[in-house]
Each structure stands twice: as C-alpha cells, then as structure tokens.
Amino acid sequence: MTLSIAVAGKGGSGKTSVASLIIRYLKKNGSGPILAIDADPNANLGESLGLEVKQTVGLMLDEFHKDKIKIPPGMTKDIYLEYKLNQIIVESKELDLVTMGRGEGPECYCYPNLILKRFADTLAKSYAYMVMDNEAGMEHLSRRTTQNIDELLIISDHSVKGVRTVARIRDLVAQLKLVVKRQSVIINFAPTKLAPPVTDELVRLGIEPAATIPLDEEVYEYDLKLKPLLDLPDSSKAVRAVNDLMAKLLNRT
C-alpha cells in the first residue's frame, strides 16, 4: 500500500524545500521506493532534488491537444498517451520524479483527466511512498488527477498572511470534498518563539501547528548554489525538524 503525502502552501512558504526534506527522510529511513510529483506550475522540485527535468505532463498534453504528436499505427490514442506519460518519469536510485508543469494554453490541465488519474493511480502502486508538491489552489487534487491523500501538510511561513492562506487551503479541502485522511499545519522559517501576531492569528482561526521548522541558513545556501537538499547534513536545523515531524507522522499511520 502506497503512503501518499501532499504538501501545499502559498508561494514563498518554502513548501518545495519541505517536500524535499520529507523525501530526504524517506530515502534514509523509509522502506521502499519513492515517487515525487511536482504539481506546482512553477516547477522546481527537480532542482531541489538534483534531478534534471526535460519534459512535463503539461507540455506533452499540450502537444497532444494540438495534434503535434503522431500516433503510431496499431496504437490507440489512450495507449500511446500512457506510453508517453511513462517516458516523462525521471528515474534515480529509490526516487523517481514526475513533473506536471504547465502547457501553453489553459486547457492543458483539463485534458484528459481520466487518463491522467489512471496513470497516476497505476504508477503510485509501484512505490512505497508518494510525495506531491502542490500549488495553493490544489489544482491536481481538485481535478482528481491523483489518488486519495493520507497526509496533507499545509505549510505557512512565519507571517499572518501565511497563516490565513493555510486557513483558505483547509477550507478549500472541505469545499472540494477531497479525500484526505489527516491534515497537519507546519510553520516554516520559524524563530525560536512565534511572534504574537502570528500566534494570535493561529488562535483566531483555530489552527494548532503540528510542527515548526526553523529558519536554516544551510538550506538557503544550498538553494543559492543549486545544491540538492538531499545532500544536506544531518546537523541541519531544518533537517532535524522535518525528521522529527516525519517520525511522528509515520508512527501514527
């Protein structure tokens, strides 16, 4: 059974870094291969993981929509589409990556959702873990292009705006009736003690963070130099915080 973890949050909350550190933990402590899905149109999970992305689902579907891809004789459009989708997978030891990306037109996420869902669900069954980096609008979850989620981690930076975005994502999950087993709120870039305005907003909105991740200069330096966050040392403050969080999450599954 695949354990699915989705990470969501507003731009600038550091959600991609958190997703990368979750994957780092699973690689070191998990028991099986990991499928990473970059579902943010501003795709950069591959860079954080040190994996080169040459093609995205969005661009490939765009080519299909515009009939730029010729289907070989004897193959149906559905079968050839699934074949092309499998070619998008970036493979590495114990970790594979699929980047959703975006196409040139607004139709790229809409066509064809049924095949995308079947592809994602079938693909995920080959992995022990699936980690998805989402945009705040939860586009792929809302279109049911991925399987149900066991753990939804909603990331906020240390700001009132970030906390309010968390509340909106939480409400969106309820409105869309998404099948999410558990939700956890994480405060990223946190100081030793949360600022009173942030704490007050958390209380007002009825949000109790499951964890805080401290501002970590090493993460900043790795991002600046385009070094994979998977290579961060165990002594990293952010690594230690995510390791503690993941140990708790996996203990309750």
Is 116:81 a contact under the CB 8 Å cutoff?
no
56-77 in b/e form (b: 16+ CB < 10 A) is: bbbbbbbbbbeeeeebeeeeee
**Token couple for 164:** 């309010």
Mean pLDDT of 235-248: 97
**DSSP state string for 54-91:** ---HHHHHHHHHTT-SPPPTT--HHHHHHHHHHHTPEE
Q: Which domain holds residue 107?
A: 3-251
Q: At 118, which amino acid appears?
A: R
Least confident range from 131-135, 159-163, 230-234, 238-242: namely 131-135
> For position 131, which CATH number holds?
3.40.50.300
Q: How far apart are CA 199 and CA 187, in angstroms?
A: 11
Q: How far apart are CA 99 and CA 78, in angstroms?
A: 20
List pLDDT tens digits, range 194-219.
999 999 999 999 999 999 999 999 99
Report which DSSP code applies to 137.
Answer: T
Q: How many domains does the chain have?
A: 1
* Whether pTM exceeds 0.85: yes
Give the percent of the chain with pLDDT over 90: 59
List pLDDT tens digits, range 41-70.
888 999 999 999 998 888 887 777 776 667
List pLDDT tens digits, range 112-130.
456 666 777 788 889 999 9
Residue 30 has pLDDT above 90, yes or no: no
